[in-house]
Amino acid sequence: MSSTLRPKTQPRMGSISRNRPDEVSGALLAWYDRHQRVLPWRAREGKAPDPYHVWLSEIMLQQTTVQAVKPYFEGFVACWPTIEDLAKAPLEAVLDRWAGLGYYARARNLHACACKIVADFGGRFPSDEKTLKTLPGIGDYTAGAIAAIAFDKVAAAVDGNVERVISRMRFIDEPLPKAKKAIRAETLALVPDRRAGDFAQSLMDLGATICTVRAPKCGICPWEGVCIAHAKGRMEDLPIKPPKKRKPVRHALAFWLESEGDVLLRRRPAKGLLGGMLEVPSSPWGDEPLDDDAALAHAPNAADWAILEGTVRHTFTHFHFHLKVARAHIRADARPDGLWVPMHDLDGLPTVMRKVAHMVQKQKA
DNA sequence: TAGGCGTGGGC
DNA sequence: TGCCCAAGCCT
């Protein structure tokens, strides 16, 4: 990224005018030059960013922590070094490698987007927000982030971090999501003509490391002097979020069927919850716990099913899940049709199903 | 527009 | 422990 536009004399701390967008953004860029995080998807000093890496990381980072993303990003880039490689891969391979990261529609859209970039755009990402937003999995935030970070376009990338930082700094006390329009306008007004990508990343770094949800570190914030929420002592009141709803509990019985070191799995329907992912077969997921006999009627075959002690508990976005597990062994010549997978090769399972496997292994010991 | 859609960490 | 939250998107 160009660093040529840094002012010759940096504004002194506390001397920034909150009515001068160039001074406000300049103070943040100066902070970013000293304190930016080193992340695997960021371009090295003086190097042009790789749009494929920017896009891949932005999709993975949607609603997901940096620490969780790091190993997946490295794994994807090692397995599919270019977007052409990713487009050529079977969707199932992409989903299996995404397993554990959550929000699996992202992986389906990722693959669809890669195919579209290769088929319709010659393997090159468009650089304008409007075209980016036509691609699967790319919305307002991600379009702005790619335009700014990969192509240094003047664009606002308003994510949860930016909503928090800007709503505090400008004291926008309207509740979300109504506040989004004002936050976006305030953010866009601050984007500098040069270093728009650095500015986008600096806002996110500030939100992630200084302007945190709880206990923000205002004493070391480059915007302490211009932040209205800080002046009022109201930092932790913003942004105002709508109340959450209670999660209901759903129940099911999973069927762990073993045969000579393999376990029976199946692939879920392509869309919806865990769409396209591998799973341990189970009874339908219902609002009430099924009694054992009723649940066992859904078993994939007639076998000597034993219901294990304990319950797998897992929380999805909008419900809690209580899963009992039944287990049986059969001979190889009695296997029902299905996907038989070696028990040492269960990396493609989503977390809830890994919990099932873990419970079975624990009860063997 | 509001609800569906995962997971792991922090307190 | 239960709840909140993290670089949102889609319908």
pLDDT in tens, A269-290: 999 999 999 999 999 999 999 8
Confidence of residue A45 (pLDDT cuts 50, 70, 90): confident
Residues 151-190 of A with CB under 7 A from strand B: 177
Residues 279-308 of A with CB under 7 A from strand B: none
Looking at strand C, which nucleotides approach a protein CB closer than 7 A?
3-10
pLDDT higher than 60, residue A137: yes
CA angle, A91 then A94 then A98, to 5°: 135
pLDDT higher than 60, residue A148: yes
pLDDT of the residue at A17: 93
A361 neighbors A290 (Cβ within 8 angstroms): no
Q: Check: pTM over 0.85? Answer yes or no.
A: yes
Is strand C less than 7 A from the beta carbon of A58? yes
pLDDT higher than 70, residue A127: yes
Q: Tell me the catalytic residues of A.
A: 58
pLDDT higher than 80, residue A48: yes
Is strand B less than 7 A from the beta carbon of A350? yes
What is the distance in angstroms measured between the alpha-carbon CA of A76 and the sugar C1' of B8?
20
Confidence of residue A364 (pLDDT cuts 50, 70, 90): confident
Name the percent of chain A lying above pLDDT 90: 92
A169 neighbors A163 (Cβ within 8 angstroms): no
Tell whether the torsion through CA atoms of A226, A232, A236 and A237 is positive or negative: negative
- What tokens were used for A282? 């189970």
Confidence of residue A343 (pLDDT cuts 50, 70, 90): very high
Residues 151-190 of A with CB under 7 A from strand C: 159-161, 164
pLDDT of the residue at A357: 97
pLDDT of the residue at A91: 98
pLDDT higher than 80, residue A3: no
pLDDT of the residue at A10: 45
A116 neighbors A135 (Cβ within 8 angstroms): yes
Q: Considering only CA atoms, which residue is closest to the C1' of nucleotide B5?
A: A103
What is the distance in angstroms measured between the alpha-carbon CA of A249 and the sugar C1' of C1?
17
pLDDT higher than 90, residue A15: no
Residues 90-129 of A with CB under 7 A from strand C: 103, 105, 109
Confidence of residue A14 (pLDDT cuts 50, 70, 90): low
Distance between CA A362 and CA A312 in Å, rounded?
A: 12
Lowest mean pLDDT among A47-56, A105-114, A188-197, A285-294: A285-294
Q: Considering only CA atoms, which residue is closest to the C1' of nucleotide C3?
A: A244
Confidence of residue A1 (pLDDT cuts 50, 70, 90): very low
What is the distance in angstroms measured between the alpha-carbon CA of A244 and the sugar C1' of B11?
18
Is strand B less than 7 A from the beta carbon of A358? no
Note the pLDDT tens digit of each residue in A107-116: 999 999 999 9
